Structure 1
Amino acid sequence: MAFTLEQLRGFVAVAEELHFSRAAARLAMTQPPLSRQIQKLERVVGARLLIRDNRRVTLTAAGEVFLVEARRLLSLAETAPELARRVSSGSSGVVRVGFTAAATYGVLGRLLDELAGLLPDVDVELAELVTREQVAALVNEEIDLGLGRPPFDDSAFGSRLLHREGLLVAVPAGHHLPTLGRAATAADVVREPVIMHSPTDARYFYDLVVRTVPIAPANTVHTVGQVLTMLWLVAAGRGVAFVPESAARLRLDGVEFVRLETAVAQPVELHLVWLKASANPALWRTLSVLEGRTPFE
């Protein structure tokens, strides 16, 4: 047997008024049914909540504690329908976002600021994942939205361009490339020792670089999956690396940057990607408010 919301409201009214007649008037009812509500509530709870005599009503110790919880339960009962409606419409809820480490160099922060302004009641949870991991997490519904590198399976995923940028060559301080006074060409860097992107963990950048510069396998001195690790190795003088333009924001000591001449001026793309079959209303609301907004530059 459980208590009802009507019994809780009756108890709270009596506890606040400390008078049955005033509480009954407040609830637009007569005193006898209110007294029966309190009696039934005490039987369900298994404790005496009120001490009443002809002159006054007081709360027992159990009643004082129960009053706090009764108010909380009533508040939840009043707000739950509105919350459910907001979640159903997507104006409240949670969107879990996966992002590549390179996306944090300016783009992720701007996206979060925009979402906070447009959807203040939607909570955003973050997970750092390479694109391959994001795709798996989307399929398993562990994240709702990814910030990853194309291509994506159009039959399963929706996507839209979020950001486009150039490709830079990161070189150790004092390297001769910055003295050229122009963008570096493939011929300028083809014989340099290279810290290369992993063909598994950073497939997008690996493919982009090998399409641009015919790097000999013998010139690859390290293979890593994260841009920040590449830059630390460049600072240590281990070689040069090909990184997105936004990586220059890190301003690491011992690293300089030179633009790489490419067939397309801004070949590095970052996309929003989502599972077309997602049932999360907050995701669709997020995509709706972002629809038609220009990519971040």
Structure 2
Amino acid sequence: MELRHLRYFQTVAQELNVTRAASLLHMAQPPLSRQIRQFEEEVGVALFDRVGRGLKLTEAGRFLLEQSLQLTQRLEETLEGTRRIGRNEKRWFGIGFVPSVLYGVLPELIRVLRDDASQIEVGLTEMITVQQLEALKSGRIDLGFGRLALNDPAIAQRVVRAEALVAALPASTAVPATPLTADALARHPLILYPARPRPSYADHVLSLFRAQGLQPHVVQEANELQTALGLVAAGIGITLVPSSVQRLHRDDVRYVPVDAAGFVSPVIMSYRAGDVSPYLLRAVEWVMRQRGE
């Protein structure tokens, strides 16, 4: 599949008329019609219903249009950033992060880095800690924020902070607001995230229960924090989240403190060992100042 085929599809899908789409694309109608048919064959499903002289998107077509527009917009942003870097206008600085750190130190660090907008292009990629280490070694990112300590001589890791965990429960649950013990938590069905890849924060949570001699009943695994909270709101079970996530206000979820030894989750900053980039050093020094070092 070529990018031009996707652009042909988007134009036809937005116009719902091959003649108008062909005019916008500066090409004849018959070749465009052939390209659209070939594109549908390659995708393997019908993207358009032919209605009289016009077209109508199928459910699959509507989904592809919505998703592909997001992809091409991101591609355009990436290409523009590439051009700026290629013209030596900016230096690329990639940051990988787990979603929960967006409620802590990361947003302010991004603002600090972007204050020097003439020199640095900050790229953000959501990924778990294991993925961050691989991305650091391959050079795709320069700095990572995760929640797992992993032993790799190529990577330096520093604990930024240790966050207390809180239990996320459905708002309608008749549980007192007093802290929940590990035993009380283990009696609730548990929702884990992320489901994959592993090891991840999910394994950290399970290890906390094991350290207490407990085996929680895992009823569901989700890949994302927001999905886990949605499942909590639906009454499927509870989940454990870092305390900073409480800043994410939801009317259908309530947060209850946890009273159990060791039920914390560290925020761990990772970067390539020996990297002396001034942008990295600036970022690391700023983060550590926030914790008083």
TM-score, reference length from structure 1: 0.60
User: What is the CA distance between 1:135 and its match in structure 2?
Assistant: 1.1
267, 271, 291: which one pairs with 1:274?
271
Q: Bigger radius of gyration, 1 or 2? A: 1
219, 236, 239: which one pairs with 1:238?
236
The one-letter amino acid paired with 2:123 is E
Residue of structure 2 equivalent to 1:97: 95
Alpha-carbon distance in structure 1 between the residues aligned to 2:120 and 2:103: 23
Residue of structure 2 equivalent to 1:184: 180
Determine if contact 1:164/1:269 at 8 Å carries over to the other structure: yes
% identical aligned pairs: 29
Judging changes above 3 Å, is the alpha-carbon distance between structure 1 residues 251 and 202 closer, same or farther for their aligned structure 2 residues? farther
Judging changes above 3 Å, is the alpha-carbon distance between structure 1 residues 212 and 292 closer, same or farther for their aligned structure 2 residues? closer
Residue of structure 2 equivalent to 1:203: 199
Alpha-carbon distance in structure 2 between the residues aligned to 1:119 and 1:295: 25
Residue of structure 2 equivalent to 1:162: 160
Give the number of equivalent residue pairs: 203
User: What is the CA distance between 1:111 and its match in structure 2?
Assistant: 1.6
User: What is the CA distance between 1:114 and its match in structure 2?
Assistant: 2.9
Determine if contact 1:212/1:262 at 8 Å carries over to the other structure: no
Alpha-carbon distance in structure 1 between the residues aligned to 2:117 and 2:257: 37
Q: Give the SS at the match of 1:146.
A: strand
Determine if contact 2:149/2:157 at 8 Å carries over to the other structure: no
The one-letter amino acid paired with 1:282 is Y
Once the two structures are superposed, residues 196-255 of structure 1 have per-residue CA deviations (whole angstroms, 9 ceiling, x without a partner) of 2346436342233223335546x2210123211110000111111111112211112211
Alpha-carbon distance in structure 2 between the residues aligned to 1:196 and 1:291: 29
The runs of at least 4 consecutive aligned structure 1 residues that moved more than 6 Å come to none
189, 192, 196: which one pairs with 1:193?
189
Q: How does 1:30-69 map to 2 (within 5 A)?
A: none
Q: Give the SS at the match of 2:290.
A: coil
Determine if contact 1:235/1:252 at 8 Å carries over to the other structure: no
TM-score, reference length from structure 2: 0.61
Q: Give the SS at the match of 1:151.
A: coil
The one-letter amino acid paired with 1:167 is L
Residue of structure 1 equivalent to 2:113: 115
Judging changes above 3 Å, is the alpha-carbon distance between structure 1 residues 291 and 269 closer, same or farther for their aligned structure 2 residues? closer
Determine if contact 1:221/1:238 at 8 Å carries over to the other structure: yes
277, 280, 285: which one pairs with 1:283?
280
Residue of structure 1 equivalent to 2:208: 212
Judging changes above 3 Å, is the alpha-carbon distance between structure 1 residues 120 and 256 closer, same or farther for their aligned structure 2 residues? farther
Unaligned stretches of 5+ in structure 1?
1-82
Alpha-carbon distance in structure 2 between the residues aligned to 1:216 and 1:191: 9
Residue of structure 1 equivalent to 2:253: 255
CA RMSD of aligned residues (A): 2.8
Q: Give the SS at the match of 1:213.
A: helix
User: What is the CA distance between 1:97 and its match in structure 2?
Assistant: 0.6
Q: Give the SS at the match of 1:134.
A: helix
Judging changes above 3 Å, is the alpha-carbon distance between structure 1 residues 156 and 228 closer, same or farther for their aligned structure 2 residues? same
Determine if contact 2:160/2:291 at 8 Å carries over to the other structure: yes
Q: Give the SS at the match of 1:243.
A: strand
The one-letter amino acid paired with 2:190 is V
Judging changes above 3 Å, is the alpha-carbon distance between structure 1 residues 202 and 110 closer, same or farther for their aligned structure 2 residues? farther
Alpha-carbon distance in structure 2 between the residues aligned to 1:272 and 1:256: 29
Alpha-carbon distance in structure 2 between the residues aligned to 1:264 and 1:119: 41
Judging changes above 3 Å, is the alpha-carbon distance between structure 1 residues 291 and 128 closer, same or farther for their aligned structure 2 residues? closer
